[in-house]
Structure 1
Amino acid sequence: MRAVRLILALAGAILAAAGPAVAQGVPPDPAMLVADDVMLDAQDRLIARGHVEAFYNGRRLTARRIVYDRTADRIEITGPLTLTEEGGGAVVVADSATLDRDLVNGILRGARMVMHDQLQLAAHQMRRTDARVTELYKASVTSCRVCETGRPPLWQIRARRMIHDQDKRRLYFYDAQLRVLDTPVFYLPRLRMPDGSVDRATGFLAPEFVNSSLLGTGVRTPFFIAFNDHSDLTIAPFWATNSRRLDLRYRQAFRTGEIEIETAVADDDFSSRSTRGYLFAEGRFDLPRDFTLRFDVELTSDDTFLLDHGFSDKDRLQSGISAERARRDEYVRLALDHVHSLREDESNDTLPGTIANGEYTRRVFPSRLGGELRLTALAHSHYRPSDDTTDGTDFDIFADGRDVTRLTAQADWLRQWTGPAGVLATVEAGLAIDHFEFAQIGATADDQATEITPRAAVGLRWPLMKTARGGVAHVIEPVAQLAWSGGSDPDVPLDESTAVEFDEGNLFNISRFPAPDRRERGVAGAVGLSYTRISPQGWEGRFALGKVIREDRLREPDGTPTFSRSSGLRDRNSDLLVAAQARTDTGLVVTGRSLVDDELDASKAEARISWQNARTDLGATYTWLPDDPVEDRADSVSEWAFDGEYRFARHWTASGEWRFDASTDRSVRAGAGITYTNECVDITVSVTRRFTSSRVLEPETNIGFTVGLRGFAAAAQDKSFTRTCRK
């Protein structure tokens, strides 16, 4: 009889709840009730007691006792009860409740709500109306873990009344107080915040407090405006004792691209300019026929504004626009750039400030000839603002105001064979035509030049592989190349190939100059050897050696060496190129590269070591370059750079950076910071010091302090920072 009574009662409840839907011809959602005991009383009420669970329309209710009054069409619930919203967006816990039959609208007493596993809301009484609006009276909100110790959370917002709009995904507070350890620190009559499910919401972001030896003591208070789902604006006023500044950032996404604009306007007491500022903008758009348009704008009012306010360390600004298309057998690019130098020792009048480039490359695979035929057309032009037709300070025959246009056409044929024992043979042949036009070149130099360069090369490589016990693979590969390039160097200024890098990427190139205003000519050979070890356990090691041997030393038409002293390629026998890398399964990576001369002295060197895992992200870099006037380097460079962070405790992370110039034995920049993070707050204290100084630049020290409340963003939070309650 009890089973029959349970079935009849459950069927009656389901029909009663679904009655309106049936009347309208809409199939009802399935409903289910599970309890230790279910009965119908004389007043036609359905009563369920003991471990009650109700499921309806995606909601789940658990309680000690449920009474469904069919006549009043309401459900009386005796708790403690738990109501889980559909999708797991919110969980409500209450002492008792009165709800409608859909478990949506009604009143909950002594209620607590957990939203998106982040925000915790508690209230003396909670009212749900219109299936989307929740009203809380005498409410408290926090994202901090609340333990049963009686201690208040680290922070909370208390309000006389609070409204949660489920459709708008917003929290509205009335007569709100921000409390830290239950001490009121801030009062707002009205406050609006996202509910934790919003990716982007209009409102204030975390403020930043700054103490700078240059700017003074101040605060930056950013305000974020989300216009719609594809555009937003961040306004950040900064007010300090020595500076007033307004920062703006605008972002917008389009169907075919995106743009981002950053700018700032400042009034600084320490500057003679009444108004200072900068503008950075970038964008990308997809064009018809697979083309991509990109643009960059970098402007500043003066040479030191970016450094004074900490926006950028750039000493040259580059603005430009380009359109390019890359396909399997074709590449097209057109670009126009403008460069502006912020360096004290450079004049923008004599620098090539406006630069235009065009490139077209096409790959063809001739069936009769075999291999690959690569056809390339290049165009380059750069313009100097100066009208000077005489040489100023560099003591060459070319004028400091010269403008250059270069046109290049070249064809290259490449083919590969696999010979006996796995030897790979490569043959390359090509022809290049370079034509130069000059303006304001100088009285003793020609205003145009043309050169035809035939070239050919043959290369052999023999990869040898062995797999040892445990799956460890060893690969040794000797490589040799013999190359020839004809023609002679025209008497043209060296504007593009001012710095040559000799590394693994161009060891076996016929010409190692980065641009066609210079080409390696004559007979030359290159040899190399590489070794690679790969372990299934994650350990990897790579080592490479390389050297270039020429028939004759390369010289300019005036007899000077073609390559710079520090390039490693100046003599008939180049310096020995040495490169190595090691990587372990613990996240340790060591990389090094050096050029070693015949006396085993390093002519160039760079190395980096990094260690990255769940708690550590550390890196150190060393760079050494000798002085070289040809590369515009009057003094040698020997510099160390350290950066990283270390999570030394569950909630504490330390960070630091340091750049040290070993050649002058002084620091360039240093900084340190410490961050405390848990499930509800981020607190960061940092200090940085810039030691560099010049005629217009002073050293600067900055102290920053930032506090951010967690829990109001939709981004997933790292659960490892969440505190636990002690029992």
Structure 2
Amino acid sequence: MRFQLALACCCLPFAAWSQEGQVVVPDNQCIVRLPVPLMVDPNAPMEEDASREPVTVRADRSEAIAGETARFRGDVKLTQGNRAITADSAEVRQQEQKVQANGNLVYQDPAITITAEDLNADLTRYNATLNQAQYWLHGQQVHGDAGQLQITGDNDLVLLGSSFTTCPSEVPDWELKAEKIVIDSSEEWGRIYNAQVRLFDTPVFYVPYMTVPVSDKRKTGFLFPSISTSTKNGVDITAPFYWNIAPNYDLTLSPQVMSSRGVWLGAEGRYLQRDSAGLINLEYIGNDRLDSLNGRPDRWAYSWEHSARLDNGWRLHADIADISDDNYFNDFDSAISTSTDNQLSRVGEAAYFQKEWNFAARVQDIKVLGEAESPFQVLPQLSFQYHRPDVSRGLDFAFGTELTRFASQGNNQLEAIRWHMEPTLSLPFQTPAASLLGEVKLMQTFYQQDVPDNTTNPLEQNLDDFVSRTLPQLRLHGQINLERRLSFRGQPLRQTLEPQAQYLYIPHEDQSDIGVYDTALLQDDYSGLFRDRRFSGLDRIADANQLTLGVATRIFDDGNDERLRFALGQIFYLSDSEVSLPDQSNQIQQSSSALAMELDMQAARNWFLAGSLQLDTNSGITNKSELTLDYRPGRDKLVQLSHRYVPELAIDADTGESVDINQFGLRTTWPLTDNTYLVGNYYYDANLNRSVETFAGIQWESCCWAIRLSYDRHLNTNYSDSGFTNISQRNDFDTSWSLTFELKGLGSSGPLGVSDMLDAGLFNYRRPYYLRN
């Protein structure tokens, strides 16, 4: 069990000013009201040399000595460029270029509004001192008061005996009371000296020095620490440090002290160039005391993501990651991956694009967690694609080829080189009402396989050193788009009917002498019925003599919004398909495929239904099904019921029996009051008669602060079990309590919200299955 107390902080986004002199924050409709209407344009830039602008004065009464002093009384308004001062009285000393103003004083420029008792300003140096002032920063939620407020020549603010808050209310729930606050206008950060953080006018802690943002600009400094306790890690203390190296470089260091494990250090670096961007993560813990008995006291993880787009047509991409052991993501909250991911993909690619052709060189290595054997490495893959539309009489020509070397990570293991070529001629016909495609291609593949002489694997003993495979393919695909007008309960609607048919022919060729390097069986959902391949990759090209029939219908309202979509399709085999993977009995010796159905509809005003089904019509067995029912009557109001069923998803390592997934889910978020929200989800496995995950959170939120209490209990993934697929005996649950408190505007780690609670836990909202293609 883990209990965590964290102080989070955030910076509110820039807000939009209304004509009435108030700022509205779209997320929660919090409003900061100014004491007077805006006299200047808050979007206007600050003038670099305002002293050159003339001073204009309007007042009810005035008296002046030419070239020396001018005094004004009654509704005085002084303007200089985009700055304005209103007061009951004012005196302008022209030779000294100084201004004094008193009584109901208001100062405004594009950055700030200030009310004060009096003002003394130097117009040549452009600085001013105001006493007993209140201030509001334009475009921000920042406001407060000061015994004395100074505006420097650089347009910075120096506040003495002051307060700082982002609460919009006149009596703020929280504020900083400081001896001195300096707000830097260029860096858009505030430096605070000798401050008290006060909640409901009660001091809660003292800070000798700190910096806070007054915009979304980044700044180097410590972020708020977090403290947690757990039976697994002991006492955890994390103190992140953010380093704003440059406008396009930054680094976040996150040292974490765990009393049961040791010191864990995470580092995340980001960079952004004109033509490239990247992210680097490094994580390390030395001498992990809890895991030292497993022989891996030093544990680590790293990742690097990089993408570049060069002007001469080149594209570069790299995604590299590795970990010290398979259980790393289960034991640590990593920025690289989560405990629900069971593999790491390492990819490097360089591609060159032109109008009609492109070339790519790619290397890939996949690390599957919990598996003793690793997939083949791609070292490298060279591919070339050419497409020339309308080469003759409406014919399109395409040519694709790839040369791939598959390498094993151990010695004396199976390796291969594959060269594939695929010229294609197609004749497309397209109108708004119908489409027809005729396609002919020739698939030529050569294999050079390095089979170990002393292999004991029966699947490798039948492989040939050299294999040549030539397969033609014929594909005809047509679709008709029909529509009609109708009405339902007086509402005008438009319904479409979209039947389609495809004939596919590929002759049979025995491919048992070819190894399986990057090939797997594809899902037979509705879209998959109209593929021209039954397997991914090229190591198996299934023979086909089949007809696919499908129909979809949609209903649109008068605003052209889709209210319903239903699709139904099936493959009819005119002859058996004999090609299969060596470790699966997936030869097709039946008259038809599974019947695939998909449904998305708005059943009523606030009710939404989505589901899919793959039904074996020969045996009446369901191959896969998923269903969700949503009730969404308003913003942050949701009740979702879901069910998923997948037979034979895994094999129990001890019994050798197949394991089915038959799970029910409930997810909800609901406002209990205007400021209080409840979020929860519960998933139950009907086969194993136990819960998979339970999560509940309650959050109270105002314009000033938020507090959240959450409970989470979920089934842990543990690759140290007797086989990862031994699902029935994995009873390691992780239970945690978390309490998070946030003062809005005091920091930059991001606001609490209902949306991030919906994504908390193993199953994210509207993505609970992880099965869709």
Same-fold call, TM cutoff 0.5: yes
Q: Secondary structure at the match of 1:270?
A: coil
Question: How many angstroms does 1:288 deviate by?
Answer: 4.6
Question: How many angstroms does 1:281 deviate by?
Answer: 2.0
Aligned equivalents of 1:658, 1:329: Cα separation in 2: 52
Residue identity opposite 1:615 in structure 2: D
Matching of residue 402 in structure 1 with residue 414 in structure 2: yes
Tell me the equivalent position of 1:333: 360
Instruction: Deviation per CA, 1:560-581: give whole Å up to 9, x if none.
Output: 98637xxxx6623111111121
Matching of residue 277 in structure 1 with residue 300 in structure 2: yes
Instruction: Deviation per CA, 1:597-622: give whole Å up to 9, x if none.
Output: 22544221123455665324665653
Aligned equivalents of 2:673, 2:182: Cα separation in 1: 38
Residue identity opposite 1:118 in structure 2: Q
Tell me the equivalent position of 1:615: 636
Cα 1:43–1:460 shift into 2, 3 Å: closer
TM normalised by structure 1 equals 0.83
Question: How many angstroms does 1:287 deviate by?
Answer: 3.0
TM normalised by structure 2 equals 0.79
Matching of residue 540 in structure 1 with residue 559 in structure 2: no
Aligned equivalents of 1:559, 1:211: Cα separation in 2: 50
Aligned equivalents of 1:619, 1:325: Cα separation in 2: 46
Q: Is the Cα–Cα contact under 8 Å of residues 183 and 189 in structure 2 kept in the other structure?
A: yes
Matching of residue 347 in structure 1 with residue 372 in structure 2: yes
Residue identity opposite 1:580 in structure 2: L
1:206 to 214, 220, 224: 224
Matching of residue 318 in structure 1 with residue 345 in structure 2: yes
1:66 to 81, 84, 90: 90
1:493 to 505, 512, 515: 515
Cα 1:310–1:662 shift into 2, 3 Å: farther
Tell me the equivalent position of 1:14: none
Cα 1:436–1:607 shift into 2, 3 Å: farther
Tell me the equivalent position of 1:411: 423
Tell me the equivalent position of 2:20: none
Residue identity opposite 2:155 in structure 1: R
1:681 to 696, 700, 705: 705
Cα 1:333–1:590 shift into 2, 3 Å: farther
Instruction: Deviation per CA, 1:118-150: give whole Å up to 9, x if none.
Output: 1123111122333434322211212223436xx
Matching of residue 606 in structure 1 with residue 629 in structure 2: no
Question: How many angstroms does 1:594 deviate by?
Answer: 1.4
Tell me the equivalent position of 1:582: 601
1:112 to 110, 124, 134: 134
Matches within 5 A, 1:84-483: 84-86=108-110, 89-101=111-123, 104-116=126-138, 117-147=140-170, 153-194=172-213, 196-243=214-261, 244-267=263-286, 268-272=288-292, 273-311=296-334, 312-313=338-339, 314-325=341-352, 329-343=356-370, 346-348=371-373, 351-354=375-378, 356-387=380-411, 401-417=413-429, 422-440=433-451, 442-468=460-486, 472-483=493-504
Q: Is the Cα–Cα contact under 8 Å of residues 56 and 102 in structure 1 kept in the other structure?
A: no
Q: Is the Cα–Cα contact under 8 Å of residues 437 and 447 in structure 1 kept in the other structure?
A: yes
Instruction: Deviation per CA, 1:314-370: give whole Å up to 9, x if none.
Output: 221111211235566434333211122221xx213x532556433322111244342
**Structure 2 unpaired stretches of 5+:** 1-46, 453-459, 722-731, 755-773
Tell me the equivalent position of 1:7: none
Aligned equivalents of 1:440, 1:410: Cα separation in 2: 26
Matching of residue 53 in structure 1 with residue 87 in structure 2: no
Matching of residue 652 in structure 1 with residue 676 in structure 2: yes
Aligned equivalents of 2:60, 2:372: Cα separation in 1: 88
Cα 1:414–1:636 shift into 2, 3 Å: same
2:536 to 503, 514, 518: 514
Question: How many angstroms does 1:224 deviate by?
Answer: 1.1
* Number of equivalences: 670
Aligned equivalents of 2:589, 2:641: Cα separation in 1: 31
Q: Secondary structure at the match of 2:648?
A: coil
Aligned equivalents of 2:713, 2:131: Cα separation in 1: 56
Matching of residue 690 in structure 1 with residue 711 in structure 2: no
Cα 1:129–1:508 shift into 2, 3 Å: closer
Aligned equivalents of 2:167, 2:311: Cα separation in 1: 51
Q: Secondary structure at the match of 1:627?
A: strand
Q: Secondary structure at the match of 1:118?
A: coil
Q: Secondary structure at the match of 1:365?
A: strand
Tell me the equivalent position of 1:701: 735
Q: Secondary structure at the match of 2:208?
A: strand
Q: Is the Cα–Cα contact under 8 Å of residues 107 and 128 in structure 1 kept in the other structure?
A: yes
Instruction: Deviation per CA, 1:196-238: give whole Å up to 9, x if none.
Output: 1242111222333323331223232222111110111111222
Cα 1:119–1:425 shift into 2, 3 Å: closer
Aligned equivalents of 1:210, 1:716: Cα separation in 2: 19
Q: Is the Cα–Cα contact under 8 Å of residues 545 and 578 in structure 1 kept in the other structure?
A: yes
Aligned equivalents of 2:749, 2:649: Cα separation in 1: 50
Q: Is the Cα–Cα contact under 8 Å of residues 340 and 353 in structure 1 kept in the other structure?
A: no
Residue identity opposite 1:177 in structure 2: Q
Residue identity opposite 2:622 in structure 1: A
Matching of residue 32 in structure 1 with residue 43 in structure 2: no
Cα 1:374–1:630 shift into 2, 3 Å: farther
Q: Is the Cα–Cα contact under 8 Å of residues 638 and 670 in structure 2 kept in the other structure?
A: yes
Tell me the equivalent position of 1:391: none
Matches within 5 A, 1:14-29: 28-29=52-53
Tell me the equivalent position of 1:395: none
Computed over aligned residues only, the root mean square deviation of the Cα atoms, in angstroms, reads: 3.5
Q: Secondary structure at the match of 1:507?
A: helix
Cα 1:708–1:247 shift into 2, 3 Å: farther
Cα 1:716–1:624 shift into 2, 3 Å: closer
Q: Which has the larger radius of gyration?
A: 1
Q: Is the Cα–Cα contact under 8 Å of residues 285 and 298 in structure 2 kept in the other structure?
A: yes
Q: Secondary structure at the match of 1:307?
A: helix
Q: Is the Cα–Cα contact under 8 Å of residues 444 and 471 in structure 2 kept in the other structure?
A: yes
Aligned equivalents of 1:269, 1:356: Cα separation in 2: 40
Residue identity opposite 1:438 in structure 2: Q
Deviates more, 1:652-661 or 1:428-437: 652-661
Q: Secondary structure at the match of 1:604?
A: strand
Cα 1:127–1:433 shift into 2, 3 Å: same
**Structure 1 unpaired stretches of 5+:** 1-20, 389-400, 721-727
Residue identity opposite 1:290 in structure 2: G
Aligned equivalents of 2:51, 2:129: Cα separation in 1: 28
Residue identity opposite 2:163 in structure 1: S
